[in-house]
Structure 1
Amino acid sequence: MSDNTQVEVSAAPDEIDAEAAPVAPSRKDRAAALEREGEVAADFLERLLDIADLDGDLDVDIDGDRAIVAIVDSEEGRVPRRLVGPEGRVLEALQELSRMAVQAETGERSRLMLDVAGYRAQRRQAVIEVARVAIEKVKQTQQPEPLEPMTAFERKVAHDEVLRAGLTSESEGVDPRRHVVVLPV
Structure 2
Amino acid sequence: MSAETKDAVVEELIDEPAADEQPTGQLPVDGETAETETVTAADDADSDDSGMTDEERLVEEGEIAGDYLEQLLDVLDFDGDIDLDVDGDRAIVSIDGGSDLVKLVGKNGEILDALQELTRLAVQRTTGDRSRLMLDVARWRADRRERLARLGNEVAERVRDGGEREELDPMSPFERKIVHDAVAAVDGVYSESEGTEPNRRVVVLKG
Q: TM-score, normalised by structure 2?
A: 0.68
Match of 1:176 in 2: 198
- Which of 39, 45, 50 is 2:74 aligned to? 50
Matched residue type, 1:114: L
Which one of the candidate residues 36, 45, 67 is aligned to 1:25? 45
CA distance in 2, matches of 1:37, 1:108: 10
CA distance in 2, matches of 1:144, 1:111: 35
Is the CA contact 1:172–1:178 (under 8 Å) kept in the aligned structure 2?
A: yes
Please list every run of at least 4 consecutive aligned residues from structure 1 whose deviation after the TM superposition is greater than 4 angstroms: none
Aligned to 1:19: none
Q: Within 5 Å, which residues of 2 pair with 1:71-150?
A: 71-73=95-97, 77-150=98-171
Specify every segment of 5 or more residues in structure 1 that has no aligned partner in the other structure, as ranges. 1-21
Determine helix, strand or coil for the equivalent of 2:169.
strand
1:154 and 2:175 are equivalent in the alignment: yes
Inter-partner Cα distance in structure 2 for 1:94 and 1:57: 16
Shift of 1:182: 2.2
What residue identity is the alignment partner of 2:94? A
Q: How many Å separate the matches in 1 of 2:94 and 2:73? A: 13
Q: Is the 8 A contact 1:71 1:79 kept in 2?
A: no
Give the match's secondary structure for 1:165: coil
Which residue identity is paired with 2:136?
D
Amino acid at match of 2:55: A
Q: Quick check: 1:72–1:79 contact (8 Å CA) kept in 2?
A: no
Helix, strand or coil at the partner of 1:96: helix
Structure 2 CA distance for partners of 1:42 and 1:136, relative to 1, 3 Å: same
Check conservation: 2:85, 2:92, Cα contact below 8 A: yes
Q: Percent identity over the alignment?
A: 49
Query: Which has the bigger relative contact order, CA under 8 A and spacing at least 6?
Result: 2
Structure 2: gaps of 5 or more residues: 1-41, 47-51
TM superposition shift of 1:90: 0.8
> Deviation of residue 142 (structure 1)?
3.7
Q: Aligned pairs, how many?
A: 160
